Amino acid sequence: MPFITPLPQANDPEVAELARFFNETLGFPPNSVLTMQRRPAIAKAFINLNKAVMENHGRVTSALKRLIALVSSAATGCRYCQAHTALAASRYGAEDAKIAAVFDYATSPLFSEAERAALDLATCASAVPNAVDDGLRARMRAHWDEGEIVEIMGVIALFGYLNRWNDSMGTVLEPGAVAAGQHHLSAQGWTAGKHVKD
């Protein structure tokens, strides 16, 4: 049972209009946003931040951003966000094989050295205490420019918020997200856990 029950999608017309963004990324408005709209200013600020962070500027592709979010969410243990990011990665062109191999990115031939550095940053920046060190910063600078590093950190920081929100709230997964988690992540041990209705 969720900590706070989501409100209906049409509860706040301005939030509902902004939340149409998620019809592209996920195919449905997420229960996390429907819960946030109990304070519409929080929902609106979150949606606008999400749109800004996930905007594609070039080499940090939409698919890679979702894989970074998946690894970050796995590091914190948020199964809700793992399912969402696997679904969104697929919708933005990540191959099934690459999504399945993302937890073995350090050795998988499907990932470039630049991607490995970004995914290492996702893991280390999501750790508590933070594990980003000078060596990792140097690896990132070797593969990514400053704007790209800001984009990558934006994804990790955005999902830090979402991971804490959804894991603490016990946000219920939507059917499409459950199906994506089962399809893409169950071989790695993923289950919906607390994110299902009782």
Model pLDDT for residues 41-53, shown as the tens digit of each residue: 999 999 999 999 9
- pLDDT(33) > 90: yes
Domains and CATH numbers, the chain: 9-188 (1.20.1290.10)
CA atoms within 13 A on the CB side of 19: 24
Query: Residue 39 is inside which H or E element, if any?
Result: none
- 27's CB contacts (< 8 A; 6+ apart) are 87, 91, 176
Report the pLDDT value the prediction gives residue 2, as an integer from 0 to 100: 87
Report the pLDDT value the prediction gives residue 1, as an integer from 0 to 100: 77
Average pLDDT, the chain: 96
Query: What is the rounded CA–CA span in Å between residue 155 and residue 19?
Result: 18
Confidence band of 74 (pLDDT split at 50, 70, 90): very high
Give the C-alpha distances (Å, rounded to integers) separating 195 from 82, 148, 161.
11, 33, 17
Model pLDDT for residues 161-197, shown as the tens digit of each residue: 999 999 999 999 999 999 999 999 999 999 999 999 8
Report the pLDDT value the prediction gives residue 106, as an integer from 0 to 100: 97
- pLDDT(37) > 90: yes
- pLDDT(116) > 80: yes
Q: What's the predicted TM-score (pTM) here?
A: 0.96
Confidence band of 102 (pLDDT split at 50, 70, 90): very high
